[in-house]
Amino acid sequence: MKLESYHYKWSKKHKPVLHIRPGDEVVFEISDVTSNQMTKRSTVEDLMKVDESKLYPLAGPVFVEGASSSDTLLVDVVRVKTADWGYSPIIPGFGLLDGFDTPYLFKWELPNNAYAHFKNGIRVCLKPFCGTMGVAPKEVGFIDARPPGYHGGNMDIKHLTAGSILKLPIWTEGALFSAGDMHAAQGDGEVCGTAIECPGEVTLRFDLEKNRKLGTPQYLTPGEPQSKRGYVTTIGIAPDLMAASKEAVENMVRYLANEYELTRQEAYVLCSVAADLRIHELVDRPNWVVGMMISRDLFPSEKVKR
Protein backbone atom coordinates (compact mmCIF):
# COMPACT_ATOMS: atom_id res chain seq x y z
CA MET A 1 0.00 0.00 0.00
CA LYS A 2 1.33 3.42 -0.95
CA LEU A 3 0.47 6.64 0.88
CA GLU A 4 0.71 10.19 -0.54
CA SER A 5 -1.58 12.25 1.70
CA TYR A 6 -0.20 15.08 3.91
CA HIS A 7 -1.19 17.16 6.93
CA TYR A 8 0.70 19.76 9.02
CA LYS A 9 -0.43 19.30 12.61
CA TRP A 10 -0.73 16.37 15.02
CA SER A 11 -4.29 15.72 16.17
CA LYS A 12 -6.76 13.02 17.13
CA LYS A 13 -9.23 14.87 14.92
CA HIS A 14 -7.58 13.96 11.62
CA LYS A 15 -9.52 11.41 9.60
CA PRO A 16 -7.35 8.44 8.65
CA VAL A 17 -6.48 8.15 4.98
CA LEU A 18 -5.67 4.45 5.25
CA HIS A 19 -6.77 1.54 7.46
CA ILE A 20 -4.33 -1.34 7.94
CA ARG A 21 -3.95 -4.45 10.06
CA PRO A 22 -0.97 -5.49 12.21
CA GLY A 23 1.66 -7.05 9.96
CA ASP A 24 0.88 -4.80 6.98
CA GLU A 25 3.53 -2.78 5.15
CA VAL A 26 2.96 0.76 3.91
CA VAL A 27 5.13 2.80 1.52
CA PHE A 28 5.07 6.46 2.54
CA GLU A 29 5.93 9.08 -0.09
CA ILE A 30 7.89 11.67 1.92
CA SER A 31 8.14 15.28 0.83
CA ASP A 32 11.13 17.32 1.92
CA VAL A 33 10.58 19.46 5.03
CA THR A 34 9.38 22.43 2.92
CA SER A 35 6.62 20.56 1.04
CA ASN A 36 8.74 20.64 -2.13
CA GLN A 37 9.21 24.41 -2.06
CA MET A 38 12.94 23.65 -2.31
CA THR A 39 14.13 21.95 -5.50
CA LYS A 40 17.39 20.99 -7.21
CA ARG A 41 17.52 24.47 -8.72
CA SER A 42 16.70 26.44 -5.56
CA THR A 43 19.00 29.24 -4.41
CA VAL A 44 19.66 30.76 -1.01
CA GLU A 45 17.23 33.51 -2.02
CA ASP A 46 14.52 30.86 -2.54
CA LEU A 47 15.32 29.45 0.89
CA MET A 48 14.44 32.73 2.57
CA LYS A 49 11.09 32.89 0.73
CA VAL A 50 9.83 29.51 1.99
CA ASP A 51 6.25 29.58 3.32
CA GLU A 52 6.71 28.43 6.92
CA SER A 53 3.08 27.29 7.16
CA LYS A 54 4.03 24.45 4.78
CA LEU A 55 6.95 23.12 6.85
CA TYR A 56 6.93 19.55 8.19
CA PRO A 57 4.37 17.86 5.93
CA LEU A 58 3.26 14.60 7.55
CA ALA A 59 2.26 11.63 5.38
CA GLY A 60 -0.79 10.02 6.97
CA PRO A 61 -2.47 9.39 9.26
CA VAL A 62 -2.74 5.59 9.16
CA PHE A 63 -5.30 3.81 11.34
CA VAL A 64 -4.00 0.49 12.74
CA GLU A 65 -6.86 -1.91 13.40
CA GLY A 66 -6.97 -3.12 17.01
CA ALA A 67 -4.63 -0.40 18.35
CA SER A 68 -5.80 1.01 21.69
CA SER A 69 -4.43 3.31 24.38
CA SER A 70 -3.30 0.29 26.44
CA ASP A 71 -0.98 -0.91 23.64
CA THR A 72 2.38 -0.07 22.08
CA LEU A 73 2.79 0.48 18.33
CA LEU A 74 5.80 -1.20 16.70
CA VAL A 75 7.11 0.52 13.58
CA ASP A 76 9.63 -1.65 11.71
CA VAL A 77 11.72 0.40 9.25
CA VAL A 78 11.99 -1.92 6.24
CA ARG A 79 13.47 0.33 3.52
CA VAL A 80 14.42 3.99 3.14
CA LYS A 81 15.06 5.51 -0.29
CA THR A 82 16.05 9.11 -0.93
CA ALA A 83 15.80 11.22 -4.06
CA ASP A 84 19.03 11.85 -5.96
CA TRP A 85 19.48 15.31 -4.44
CA GLY A 86 19.34 17.08 -1.11
CA TYR A 87 20.31 20.32 0.62
CA SER A 88 21.62 21.62 3.95
CA PRO A 89 20.78 25.22 4.85
CA ILE A 90 21.87 27.52 7.64
CA ILE A 91 19.03 29.86 8.62
CA PRO A 92 19.93 32.83 10.86
CA GLY A 93 18.52 32.39 14.35
CA PHE A 94 17.90 28.66 13.86
CA GLY A 95 20.49 26.22 15.15
CA LEU A 96 22.68 25.78 18.20
CA LEU A 97 25.34 28.43 17.64
CA ASP A 98 25.07 32.21 17.50
CA GLY A 99 26.96 34.31 15.01
CA PHE A 100 25.74 32.70 11.78
CA ASP A 101 23.79 35.72 10.56
CA THR A 102 23.96 35.14 6.81
CA PRO A 103 21.74 32.52 5.12
CA TYR A 104 23.68 29.65 3.55
CA LEU A 105 22.71 26.74 1.30
CA PHE A 106 24.74 23.67 0.39
CA LYS A 107 23.22 21.38 -2.25
CA TRP A 108 24.11 17.70 -2.42
CA GLU A 109 24.12 15.10 -5.14
CA LEU A 110 22.94 11.84 -3.57
CA PRO A 111 24.30 8.95 -5.63
CA ASN A 112 22.93 5.44 -5.35
CA ASN A 113 25.76 4.34 -3.08
CA ALA A 114 27.06 4.85 0.43
CA TYR A 115 28.63 8.32 0.22
CA ALA A 116 27.92 11.89 -0.86
CA HIS A 117 30.77 14.29 -1.64
CA PHE A 118 31.19 17.53 0.33
CA LYS A 119 34.23 19.82 -0.14
CA ASN A 120 38.00 19.27 -0.46
CA GLY A 121 37.73 15.50 -0.80
CA ILE A 122 35.48 15.13 2.26
CA ARG A 123 32.66 12.63 1.85
CA VAL A 124 29.68 11.91 4.10
CA CYS A 125 28.29 8.44 4.73
CA LEU A 126 24.61 8.28 3.72
CA LYS A 127 22.32 6.76 6.37
CA PRO A 128 18.78 7.79 5.39
CA PHE A 129 15.91 7.92 7.87
CA CYS A 130 12.71 9.80 8.63
CA GLY A 131 13.24 12.56 11.16
CA THR A 132 9.55 12.52 12.04
CA MET A 133 7.50 9.45 12.95
CA GLY A 134 4.69 9.54 15.47
CA VAL A 135 1.10 8.96 16.46
CA ALA A 136 -1.73 11.30 17.41
CA PRO A 137 -0.89 12.87 20.81
CA LYS A 138 -3.04 12.68 23.91
CA GLU A 139 -3.54 16.47 23.96
CA VAL A 140 -6.78 17.91 22.65
CA GLY A 141 -6.73 20.06 19.52
CA PHE A 142 -3.98 20.55 16.95
CA ILE A 143 -0.30 20.30 17.94
CA ASP A 144 2.59 21.89 16.01
CA ALA A 145 4.61 19.34 14.04
CA ARG A 146 8.08 20.71 14.84
CA PRO A 147 8.62 19.91 18.55
CA PRO A 148 8.73 16.22 19.55
CA GLY A 149 6.69 14.80 22.41
CA TYR A 150 5.54 11.61 24.09
CA HIS A 151 3.74 10.78 20.83
CA GLY A 152 7.11 10.72 19.01
CA GLY A 153 7.05 13.21 16.16
CA ASN A 154 10.07 15.26 15.08
CA MET A 155 12.62 13.42 17.21
CA ASP A 156 15.36 13.47 14.53
CA ILE A 157 16.88 10.19 15.75
CA LYS A 158 19.49 9.33 13.14
CA HIS A 159 19.57 5.68 14.25
CA LEU A 160 16.06 4.95 12.89
CA THR A 161 17.47 3.62 9.63
CA ALA A 162 16.42 0.42 7.85
CA GLY A 163 16.49 -2.50 10.27
CA SER A 164 15.44 -0.43 13.29
CA ILE A 165 12.16 -0.67 15.21
CA LEU A 166 10.49 2.35 16.78
CA LYS A 167 8.13 1.72 19.71
CA LEU A 168 5.47 4.35 20.32
CA PRO A 169 2.90 4.70 23.12
CA ILE A 170 -0.62 4.87 21.72
CA TRP A 171 -2.92 7.66 22.89
CA THR A 172 -6.03 7.13 20.78
CA GLU A 173 -7.88 4.34 18.99
CA GLY A 174 -6.07 3.25 15.84
CA ALA A 175 -2.87 5.12 16.81
CA LEU A 176 -3.16 7.48 13.77
CA PHE A 177 0.47 7.19 12.65
CA SER A 178 2.19 9.68 10.32
CA ALA A 179 5.75 10.18 9.01
CA GLY A 180 7.84 12.89 7.34
CA ASP A 181 11.06 14.95 7.29
CA MET A 182 13.42 12.63 5.40
CA HIS A 183 17.17 13.00 5.94
CA ALA A 184 19.90 11.38 3.87
CA ALA A 185 22.40 11.85 6.71
CA GLN A 186 22.56 13.61 10.07
CA GLY A 187 24.80 13.84 13.10
CA ASP A 188 23.45 13.40 16.62
CA GLY A 189 22.31 16.89 17.62
CA GLU A 190 21.58 18.23 14.10
CA VAL A 191 23.41 21.26 15.40
CA CYS A 192 22.95 23.80 12.57
CA GLY A 193 19.22 23.01 12.59
CA THR A 194 19.18 20.92 9.42
CA ALA A 195 20.53 17.64 8.10
CA ILE A 196 20.78 16.56 4.46
CA GLU A 197 17.14 17.40 3.75
CA CYS A 198 15.53 15.56 0.84
CA PRO A 199 12.38 13.89 -0.44
CA GLY A 200 12.07 10.14 -0.77
CA GLU A 201 10.06 7.17 0.40
CA VAL A 202 10.07 4.86 3.39
CA THR A 203 8.55 1.40 3.75
CA LEU A 204 7.26 0.63 7.25
CA ARG A 205 5.75 -2.54 8.75
CA PHE A 206 3.36 -2.17 11.68
CA ASP A 207 2.58 -4.41 14.63
CA LEU A 208 1.19 -4.13 18.16
CA GLU A 209 2.34 -5.11 21.62
CA LYS A 210 -1.01 -5.63 23.28
CA ASN A 211 -1.48 -4.44 26.86
CA ARG A 212 2.12 -3.13 27.10
CA LYS A 213 1.78 0.64 27.21
CA LEU A 214 4.96 2.74 27.17
CA GLY A 215 5.25 6.15 28.77
CA THR A 216 7.68 7.48 26.17
CA PRO A 217 9.05 6.24 22.81
CA GLN A 218 11.79 3.62 22.62
CA TYR A 219 13.73 2.16 19.71
CA LEU A 220 15.80 -0.87 18.77
CA THR A 221 18.65 -0.49 16.30
CA PRO A 222 21.19 -2.89 14.78
CA GLY A 223 23.90 -0.31 15.50
CA GLU A 224 26.50 1.29 13.29
CA PRO A 225 29.84 0.13 11.85
CA GLN A 226 32.82 1.51 13.71
CA SER A 227 35.11 4.09 12.17
CA LYS A 228 38.11 2.41 10.53
CA ARG A 229 40.45 5.33 11.29
CA GLY A 230 38.95 6.45 14.57
CA TYR A 231 37.46 9.78 15.64
CA VAL A 232 38.42 13.34 16.44
CA THR A 233 36.49 14.70 19.44
CA THR A 234 36.31 18.28 20.65
CA ILE A 235 35.24 19.01 24.22
CA GLY A 236 32.99 21.53 25.97
CA ILE A 237 33.06 21.96 29.77
CA ALA A 238 30.56 24.17 31.59
CA PRO A 239 28.09 24.18 34.51
CA ASP A 240 25.26 24.21 31.94
CA LEU A 241 24.70 21.40 29.40
CA MET A 242 23.65 23.78 26.64
CA ALA A 243 26.72 25.95 27.17
CA ALA A 244 28.97 22.87 27.17
CA SER A 245 27.30 21.64 23.96
CA LYS A 246 27.81 24.98 22.24
CA GLU A 247 31.47 25.03 23.28
CA ALA A 248 32.06 21.52 21.92
CA VAL A 249 30.43 22.42 18.59
CA GLU A 250 32.25 25.75 18.31
CA ASN A 251 35.54 23.96 18.93
CA MET A 252 34.71 21.43 16.17
CA VAL A 253 33.75 24.20 13.74
CA ARG A 254 37.08 25.89 14.42
CA TYR A 255 38.99 22.61 14.06
CA LEU A 256 37.37 21.69 10.72
CA ALA A 257 37.78 25.18 9.31
CA ASN A 258 41.45 25.36 10.26
CA GLU A 259 42.52 21.82 9.39
CA TYR A 260 40.47 21.14 6.24
CA GLU A 261 40.26 24.58 4.62
CA LEU A 262 36.52 25.06 5.08
CA THR A 263 34.58 28.24 5.70
CA ARG A 264 32.84 28.48 9.08
CA GLN A 265 29.50 27.90 7.35
CA GLU A 266 30.77 24.78 5.58
CA ALA A 267 32.26 23.47 8.83
CA TYR A 268 28.99 24.12 10.70
CA VAL A 269 26.98 22.21 8.07
CA LEU A 270 29.45 19.31 8.22
CA CYS A 271 29.02 19.18 12.00
CA SER A 272 25.26 19.00 11.57
CA VAL A 273 25.22 16.21 8.99
CA ALA A 274 28.16 14.07 10.13
CA ALA A 275 29.35 14.79 13.71
CA ASP A 276 27.76 13.50 16.93
CA LEU A 277 27.21 15.31 20.22
CA ARG A 278 27.75 13.07 23.25
CA ILE A 279 27.25 13.69 26.96
CA HIS A 280 30.47 12.37 28.49
CA GLU A 281 29.92 13.25 32.15
CA LEU A 282 27.05 14.49 34.33
CA VAL A 283 28.14 13.66 37.86
CA ASP A 284 31.09 15.88 38.78
CA ARG A 285 29.50 19.13 39.88
CA PRO A 286 29.66 21.95 39.08
CA ASN A 287 30.84 21.25 35.51
CA TRP A 288 29.50 18.85 32.87
CA VAL A 289 31.43 17.50 29.87
CA VAL A 290 30.08 17.27 26.32
CA GLY A 291 32.02 15.99 23.31
CA MET A 292 31.51 16.34 19.57
CA MET A 293 32.84 13.36 17.61
CA ILE A 294 33.54 13.09 13.89
CA SER A 295 34.92 10.03 12.10
CA ARG A 296 38.28 10.47 10.41
CA ASP A 297 36.95 8.18 7.63
CA LEU A 298 35.26 11.26 6.12
CA PHE A 299 38.56 12.85 5.18
CA PRO A 300 41.14 11.98 2.51
CA SER A 301 43.85 9.88 4.13
CA GLU A 302 46.61 12.33 3.20
CA LYS A 303 44.72 15.14 4.98
CA VAL A 304 43.91 13.34 8.24
CA LYS A 305 45.54 15.17 11.12
CA ARG A 306 47.01 13.56 14.21
- The model's pLDDT over 216-260, given as tens digits with 9 standing for 90+, comes to 999 999 988 889 999 999 999 999 999 999 999 999 999 999 999
Average pLDDT on 265-272 reads 98
Question: DSSP letter string over 100-145?
Answer: --S-EEEEEE--SSSEEE-STT-EEE---EEEEEE---SSSS-EES
- 196 is in which domain, residue-wise? 2-220
Out of 220, 252, 271, a domain closes at: 220
88 and 235 assigned to the same domain: no
Count of structural domains, the chain? 2
**225 falls within a domain:** no
Q: 304 pLDDT exceeds 70?
A: no
Whole-model pTM: value is 0.95
112 and 146 assigned to the same domain: yes
State residue 306's pLDDT score.
59
Q: What is the pLDDT of residues 49-103, one digit of tens each?
A: 999 999 999 999 999 999 999 999 999 999 999 999 999 999 999 999 999 999 9
104 and 150 assigned to the same domain: yes
State residue 270's pLDDT score.
98
168 and 275 assigned to the same domain: no
When pLDDT is cut at 50, 70 and 90, the band that residue 17 belongs to is very high
Contact present, 293 and 278 (Cβ < 8 Å): yes
State residue 84's pLDDT score.
96
